[in-house]
Homo-oligomer: A and B are copies of this chain.
Amino acid sequence: MPELKNNRFINACFRESVDRTPVWMMRQAGRYLPEYLESRKKAPNFMDFCKQPELCCEVTMQPLDRFPLDASIIFSDILTIPDAMGMDLNFIQGVGPVFNDPIRSSADLNKLDLNNTTEKCQYVYDAINLVKKELDNKLPLIGFAGSPWTLATYMVEGQGTKTFDVIRQMLYRDPDLLSQILQAITDSLVDYLNAQIAAGVDAIMIFDSWGGVLSPFTYESFSLKYMREIISKLNREVDGKKIPVIMFTKGGGLWLENQVTSGADVLGLDWTIDIVEAKRRVGNKAALQGNLDPAFLFAKPTAIKQEVKRILSAYNGAPGHIFNLGHGIHKDTPIEGVEAMFAALGE
């Protein structure tokens, strides 16, 4: 196993010392980049695009040419799994992803093809292979998946939602059905993420984008429990290389004490929590990643610089800190804002 030339990100994940705080950006390959929009024209349908390894590789590499990033993340989508389960997925302009037949009953669940999800995502592993070759061990590559709860929100609601009424009502009305759905997703995700590790990713991130709509008690039993199971079943060491796991529950700042029991090496933070408080509460039980409000990149460079310094000062170079946004970068973000952020990080 050849060593990575830039090990900052991996070392920080394991709370080992680094020469400077590593940085990457959630959704760093995305619509804010003109070169990404250009690439997207080659396959305008989003899932078609995700299924072409060459295109995924192309856009994964794009932000690395522009910015001094310490990690890359495979270009893909969290909805690859429901798609592989045979759910009819459409991306509708102005609405986002839509499943025409959402899961509302045991019968709906039984109609899903749960047996070959891992194999059907071969295009993801192919993309990982291509990117690893392209990276030539310059930087680590992160693989990822949505959390069971977050995938279930899409599969049950059928589309994005402001209030998550359907799934939250199902949770209380029929907790057994929801548990079955979550277990089915969990089983698929274990194999899916282990296949990504086998294909060569250097780290795993689990995006629990909608865990924050739960209560402390239902977060434990309908989201964290399943992430804990996944993390416990991942191949955390491959050919002597240790694979760190990052878990990110957006809106989960109140439950950090519970999150450190997940087995994750790193916890993601959104912008609703002061990283100083998060560090105090998490202590040496996990590294922390995130915290910059993506909307802050719309501010003036001087304000961005001040905010970057504030976040950095929480650790002041001490081990266990990865600089990142608190959520995916917004499509309208001015490149100048991103540049101002990197300038402040480089000072």
A→B interface (CB under 8 Å):
160-162, 165, 168-169, 171-173, 212-218, 251, 253-254, 271-274, 277, 293, 295-299, 303, 330, 332
Contact = CB atoms under 8 A, between A and B. Distances in A.
Please classify the interface of chain A as helix (H, G, I), strand (E, B), loop, or mixed, using the class held by over half of its residues: helix
A272 B165 contact: no
B162 A299 contact: no
User: Most chain-B Cβ atoms within 10 A of its Cβ — which of A172, A273, A332?
Assistant: A172
A172 B215 contact: no
A299 B168 CA distance: 10
Contacts of A162: 160-162
A192 to B, nearest CB: 26
Given A172-B295, A173-B298, 18 more contacts: A161-B162, A168-B295, A169-B330, A169-B332, A172-B293, A172-B298, A172-B299, A214-B272, A216-B272, A216-B274, A216-B277, A218-B293, A251-B251, A251-B272, A253-B254, A254-B272, A254-B273, A254-B277
Contacts of A297: 172
Nearest to A173: B298
A272 B172 contact: no
Contacts of A277: 216, 254
Contacts of A273: 216, 254
Given A160-B162, A162-B162, A169 B272 contact: no
